[in-house]
Amino acid sequence: MTHRNEITRIVNPSVILSSGDYDMTEVIVTESGTGIMPVYSWWLVLIQGLAALILGIAFLVYPYLTLMVAVIFVGAYWFVSGIFSIISVAMDRTNMGWKILVGILGIIAGLVILVYPIYSTILLPTILMLFIGVWGLIIGGTSLAAAFGTKDWAMGFIGIVAIIFGVLLIVYPMISAAILPFVLGGFGIVGGIITIVLAFQLKSISG
């Protein structure tokens, strides 16, 4: 006996508006009732795609200026997050020492970035490349060890590539940091276009 996987849309009653209209936030339920996943408003997805596309173009046209702005935003986020972390101790004293430590480190790191944005734009991506390089070595070594055990040569190839990638990032961290804006720009443009296409597909489905 064959089963046809029918899809039913159920509008979330919590988003019904007073005018009788409703937000297109929905859940999709399969015939068996087990497959439930949210369908987000298409225009929110469109905004995310446009933002990613604009940011990607900015990284390619003004790579280092855009990177500095992004680093400043990170610094501002760390600073504000550190303040809220310390304030939260007054309301919830669980893990108080950890919250105070994270808050102080966040405030200090945020202030350093905000006071020295140019140096931070050089230092922060370089440190990030070193961390990614170490991560690449760990992933590569794990994949190689698993490949020898399972005779999976595809996994072994991935492990070798990850190790080479990690070594290059560790040996040339500043060069990698200099290339980072262009990589982010490429990902932003490709990801933005894909997201915009997805938004219009969601619109056609919901319409």
Give the model's confidence band at 205: pLDDT under 50 very low, under 70 low, under 90 confident, else very high: confident
Is the separation of the CB atoms in 46 and 178 below 8 Å?
A: no
The tens digit of pLDDT for each residue in 142-159 reads 998 888 888 788 888 999
pLDDT digits over 169-189, tens only?
Answer: 999 999 999 999 999 999 999
Checking 88-92 for CB contacts under 8 A at 24+ apart, the result is: none
**How does pLDDT run across 6-51, given as a tens digit for each residue?**
444 444 444 444 444 444 444 444 444 444 444 568 889 999 999 9
For residue 207, the model assigns a pLDDT of 63
What does the alpha-carbon distance between residue 197 and residue 190 come to, in Å, rounded to a whole number?
11
Query: How much is the pLDDT for 92?
Result: 84
pLDDT above 90 (res 117): yes
The token pair that represents 21 in the structure block: 């209209």
List all residues 6 or more positions away from 199 whose beta carbon is below 8 Å from its beta carbon: 42, 43, 45, 46, 48, 49
**Residue 49, exposed/middle/buried by CB under 10 A (0-12, 13-18, 19+)?**
buried
Q: What is the mean pLDDT of the segment spanning 93-117? A: 93
| Encoded tokens for 62 | 């003004």
What is the three-state SS of the chain?
CCCCCCEEEEECHHHECCCCCECCCEEEEECCCCCEEEECCHHHHHHHHHHHHHHHHHHHHCHHHHHHHHHHHHHHHHHHHHHHHHHHHHHCCCCHHHHHHHHHHHHHHHHHHHHCHHHHHHHHHHHHHHHHHHHHHHHHHHHHHHHHHHCCHHHHHHHHHHHHHHHHHHHCHHHHHHHHHHHHHHHHHHHHHHHHHHHHHHHHHHC
**pLDDT above 60: residue 94:** yes
